[in-house]
Amino acid sequence: MKYGLTLIFMLTLLSCSKDDTNIANQSDLKGKWVDVETRLDTLSFESLNNLEIMNLNRGKEIREGYLLPKYGSGSYAYKLSELKISLNWMLSSNSNFKDYYFKIIENRLNIGNFYDSEYGETLNFEKLK
């Protein structure tokens, strides 16, 4: 009986598996990601001096007579956890991180609308090959 309970316990532990597809690691993020709606906005990820950085490139626009990067472009410090990414826009005077939905499934990256895109609450990016 004692061995039977041990066997059942061990089989239960072995049958439980954590779904790690929701937590991205650095190798999943490497490369360039393009927004599937506009095909213009891109994301890239890097590590710099123990700081994780996500770069958003949105192109340029003319504002007040000057050619400037579109709103939200630039570097963001980030922290990953299950189903969320915490971001801090490095050009902002606010040093607080804000949480957004985040999930990678194969070559698709879904992220909460952190730069006020007109394409919904969740933005969809595809990894470039």
**Cα angle 89-97-120, degrees, rounded to a multiple of 5:** 70
11 within a domain of the structure (yes/no): no
Q: Using the predicted structure, report yes or no on whether residue 9 has a pLDDT greater than 50.
A: no
Indicate whether 118 belongs to any domain. Answer: yes
Is 113 domain-assigned? yes
- Mean pLDDT for the stretch of residues 3-27: 46
- The reply to whether 97 falls in a domain is yes
1 within domain boundaries: no
Q: Is residue 90 part of a domain?
A: yes
Q: Count structural domains, the chain.
A: 1
CATH code (residue 40): 2.40.128.50
Q: Quote the pTM value.
A: 0.77
Kindly state whether residue 121 falls inside one of the protein's structural domains.
yes
* Cα 36 to Cα 122: distance, rounded to the nearest angstrom: 12
Give me the domain span that covers residue 77: 23-127
| 67 pLDDT above the threshold of 80 | yes
